[in-house]
């Protein structure tokens, strides 16, 4: 058998199989990286060993689905709410208000009550589940 001398050498390389392999490896890398990141480590604060000796007032400001307001279960207008919060603040400087918005109430109304508490400079927090009253 005679080897052909006039055969052309390969002057190009077919990179399609190499690109297929690179894409498959890229997809595997992305999937494995996102699968391994499931959460962030977080260190939660630990409660103090002793109970607080000071007792401060805590009131519940509830926002109903229709936008009406209740302070400790009693209906209030916005002006009455501002006056009541100022009175509470004058009685106890460390008093706080828990703002409890109904799931169907408008978020803008909740923000208005947060602004009202900031205006009166009374401590406040947001309730994440239903509490008394």
The pLDDT tens digits of the residues spanning 90-119 come to 888 888 888 888 778 788 888 888 888 888
Q: What is the pLDDT of residue 133?
A: 46
Nearest-angstrom CA–CA distance, 79 and 77: 5
Convert the pLDDT of each residue in 15-54 to its tens digit: 888 999 999 999 999 888 876 656 667 777 777 667 666 7
Which pLDDT score is estimated for 23? 95
Q: Which residue has the higher pLDDT, 120 or 27?
A: 27
Query: Does residue 66 contact residue 54 with C-beta atoms inside 8 Å?
Result: no
Over range 114-130, report the average pLDDT: 82
Quick one: pLDDT at residue 27? 94
CATH of the domain spanning 58-126, picked from 3.30.420.270, 3.40.50.1580, 3.50.30.50, 3.90.79.10:
3.30.420.270
Q: Quick check: 122 and 97 in contact, CB under 8 A? A: yes
In angstroms, the CA 30 to CA 44 distance is 31
- Residue 127: name the closest of 31, 48, 59, 78 by CA: 59
Using N-to-C axis directions, what is the helix angle for 78-91 and 107-120, rounded to 10°? 40
């Amino acid at each position: 058998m005679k080897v052909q001398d006039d055969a052309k050498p390969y002057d190009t390389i077919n990179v399609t199989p190499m690109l297929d392999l690179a894409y498959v490896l890229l997809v595997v890398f992305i999937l494995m990286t996102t699968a391994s990141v499931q959460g962030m480590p977080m260190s939660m604060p630990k409660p103090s060993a002793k109970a607080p000796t000071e007792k401060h007032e805590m009131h519940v400001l509830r926002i109903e689905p229709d936008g009406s307001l209740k302070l400790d279960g009693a209906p209030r207008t916005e002006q009455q709410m501002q006056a009541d919060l100022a009175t509470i603040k004058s009685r106890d400087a460390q008093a706080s208000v828990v703002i409890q918005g109904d799931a169907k109430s408008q978020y803008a109304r909740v923000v208005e009550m947060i602004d009202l508490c900031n205006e009166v400079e009374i401590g406040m927090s947001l309730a994440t589940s239903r509490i008394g009253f």
